[in-house]
Amino acid sequence: MRTLLRLLILVWLAAAAEFAAAQAWPSKPVRLIVPYGPGGPVDISARLLAAKLQDALGQPVLPDNRPGAGGNIGVDLVAKGAADGSTLVMSAIATLAINPTLYPGLPYDPLKDLRHVTLLVQVPNVLIVANDLPAKNVKELIALARQRPGKLDFGSGSTGSTGHLAGEMFKMMTGTYMVHIPYRGSAPALADMMAGRVHLMFDNLASALPSIKSDKVRALATTTRARSSFLPDLPTLDEAGLKGFDMTTWWGVSVAAKTPQAVVDRLSAEILKAMDAPDMKERLRNMGSEAPAVRTPDQFAAFVAAELKTYTALVKRSGAKVD
């Protein structure tokens, strides 16, 4: 009986300590690591979030750009860093689901070394083609690709990006062969597409929307299963015959794995509150993001695990590799 009492007291103390730690967190400025250079969509959304979190947490939230190796450097910093909630990282589909298979010898394990807090942005990719390409819909494109194996080029923002992998998936499902041309970010790829040097792209909606709306490129389909509310007339690849095609570009906030649960909960609550604020919601929408259905850390973790499984298989089958 006494042992039971002692045990209960211990458990209560531990919980109280964690609770206290969570209340005390953050006690110093929080670093939000952005594993990419300044100006990209992840960076911008991180700065939006940081501004909001700063007000809510009462401590400065400082975005810190740490680009390199497709985002791995920044994520690894946090995975190996202090687990006290003082460092957060903008983790994305590339760093969590794709790179583990793409980069041999990745220094962190996306499921074991990180605790995933909140999914911030989820954007569909859009299949866009150059205006002078003689393909008005997906069917014509597939026919064209089959007619000219190896002659069509598809651009992407980087090796291992969703743009790249969507293209690989498309190739596998349609049995066609197109050449991948990596760029430093979507913008130069879009420029080459407008000029007709590159034939198609699976760009994310945020960066492609202005060009689509101004008729500089032609949109054929979205990569998600459901139609995008931004382009409701655009069919999905699933509708166009590639059954089961469902890809989005997403990113969110993660912390080191051993971060106390109370800190994770508080962080998650604050981020969700920030995301639900009308001005933030509006701004994220302007980036092409629809409010994600995945909300809690557990849902996010399950989501990451599922994406990891999908992309491990996809990357392996496509043979894409970073040597």
Partner 1 sequence: MEGIFGNLAIGFTEVFKLQAITIAGVSMTLPFNILMCLIGVILGTLIGVLPGIGPVATIAMLLPVTFNLAPIAALIMLAGIYYGAQYGGSTTAILVNLPGESSSVVTCLDGYQMARRGRAGPALATAAIGSFFAGCVATLVVAMFAPPLAEVALKFGPAEYFSLMVLGLVAAVVLASGSLIKAIAMVILGLLLGLVGTDVNSGVLRFAFGISEMADGIGFVTVAMGMFGICEIIANLEQKEHREVFTSKVGSLMPGKEDWKRMWKPILRGTALGSALGILPGGGALLASFGAYTLEKKVSAYSHEFGKGAIEGVAAPEAANNAGAQTSFIPLLTLGIPSNAVMALMIGAMMIQGIAPGPQVMTERPQLFWGMIASMWVGNLMLVILNLPLIGMWIKLLTVPYRYLYPSILLFMAIGVFSISNQPFDCFLMACFGLLGYVCVKLGCEPAPLILGFILGPLMEENLRRAMLLSRGDPWVFISPSKPISMGFLLAALALLVIIALPALRKKRQEVFVEET
Partner 2 sequence: MKIKSQQDWWAGLMFIGFGLFFVVFALGTPEFIDRIVGVKLIGGYQMGSSVRMGPAYFPVLLGGLLAFLGLLVLLDAIVEEGPKVAKFHFRPLLFIAVSSLAFAYLLKPLGLVLASAALVFVSAYGGHEFKWKEVAIMTVVLAMFSVLVFVKGLTLPFPICPSFIDNCPIR
Residues that bind partner 2 (CB under 8 A): 29, 60, 62, 323
Q: How far is CA 155 from CA 95, 129, 179, in A?
A: 20, 10, 8
- 92 and 122 Cβ atoms separated by less than 8 Å: no
Least distance (Å) from partner 1 to the CB of residue 233? Answer: 18
Site string for partner 1, 267-296 (x = CB under 8 A): ------------x--xx--xx---------
Would you say 61 or 117 has its CB closer to partner 2?
61
Give, for 203, the enclosing helix (H) or strand (E): strand 200-204
Query: Which of partner 2, partner 1, none does 60 bind, CB closer than 5 to 8 A by kind?
Result: partner 2
The correct pick among 22, 96, 209, 271 for binding partner 1 (CB under 8 A) is 209
68 binds partner 1 (CB under 8 A): yes
CB of 319 to partner 1, least distance (A): 14
Could you give the dihedral angle defined by the CA atoms of residues 98, 101, 103 and 104, in that order, rounded to the nearest 10 degrees?
Answer: 170
67 binds partner 1 (CB under 8 A): yes
Greatest CA separation for the chain = 82
Q: State in angstroms the smallest separation of the CB of 287 from partner 2.
A: 25
Residues in a beta bridge with 118: 253
Phi, psi of 31 (to 5 degrees): -100, 130
Total Cβ atoms within 10 A of residue 314: 19
The angle that helices 261-276 and 278-286 make with each other, rounded to 10 degrees, is: 80
Nearer to partner 2, 143 or 181 (CB): 181
| Dist CA 42 CA 219 (whole Å) | 23
Site residues, partner 1 (CB under 8 A): 37-41, 43-44, 47-48, 50-51, 63-70, 73, 76-77, 102-103, 150, 153, 158-160, 179, 181-185, 187-188, 190-192, 194-195, 197-198, 206, 209-211, 213-214, 216, 279, 282-283, 286-287, 322-323
